[in-house]
């Protein structure tokens, strides 16, 4: 497993984790679900060069769709939710109910919220685009202020 850090210049420093299968985690400085960096992991800036290039372009408002190999680990339900998150268009907000309906489980709104909260690859898998049914901001691994900043960044581009 490899790791490195990336200063976004917008929402602080991110920790990136991945291996030959792809990007596995992005962690915010404000950690809701912290990753324990193992002594066996190797710091490898070169490995994450494509990730950093795309993140840099995203934060400069030059990139709306990421194209990176991703390798999140989760339950089949979580993986289905995370895939649905990737289908949310840049700059748009949807509700947890919308995601539940998109995956064919309209009664699983709370479970969708749980899966959304455990998304290991935020920003690239845009869980920040999911809000409450009334449009309110709800939990986010990087904190609600960070979620709002990501929403604002994308809204400025539309």
Query: SS3 letters for 119-134?
Result: CCCCCCCCHHHEECCC
User: 16, 127, 150, 151: which one is catalytic?
Assistant: 127
In the prediction, which pLDDT does 158 show? Answer: 58
Question: pLDDT grade, residue 29 (50/70/90)?
Answer: confident
The CA-atom distances, in angstroms, between 151 and each of 66, 91, 94, 154 are: 16, 7, 12, 5
List the structure tokens of 74: 């989760």
Q: Is 26 a known active-site residue?
A: no
Mean per-residue pLDDT over the chain, rounded: 94
In the prediction, which pLDDT does 96 show? Answer: 96
pLDDT (mean) for 34-40: 84
Find tokens 């939990």 and name the residue: 139
Beta strands in 12-146 (DSSP E): 13-19, 22-27, 42-43, 94-95, 130-131
């Amino acid at each position: 497993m490899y790791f490195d850090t990336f200063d976004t210049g917008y929402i602080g420093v991110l920790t990136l984790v991945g291996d030959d299968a792809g990007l596995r985690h992005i962690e915010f400085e404000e950690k809701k679900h912290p990753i324990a960096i193992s002594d066996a992991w190797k710091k490898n800036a070169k490995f994450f060069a494509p990730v950093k290039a795309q993140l840099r372009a995203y934060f400069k408002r030059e990139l709306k769709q990421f194209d990176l190999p991703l390798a999140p680990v989760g339950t089949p339900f979580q993986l289905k939710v995370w895939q649905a998150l990737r289908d949310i268009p840049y700059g748009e907000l949807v509700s947890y109910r919308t995601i539940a309906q998109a995956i064919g489980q309209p009664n699983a709104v709370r479970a969708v919220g749980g899966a959304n909260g455990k998304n290991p690859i935020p920003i690239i898998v845009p869980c920040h685009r999911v809000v409450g049914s009334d449009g309110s901001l709800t939990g986010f691994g990087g904190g609600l202020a960070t979620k709002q900043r990501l929403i604002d960044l994308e809204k400025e581009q539309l």
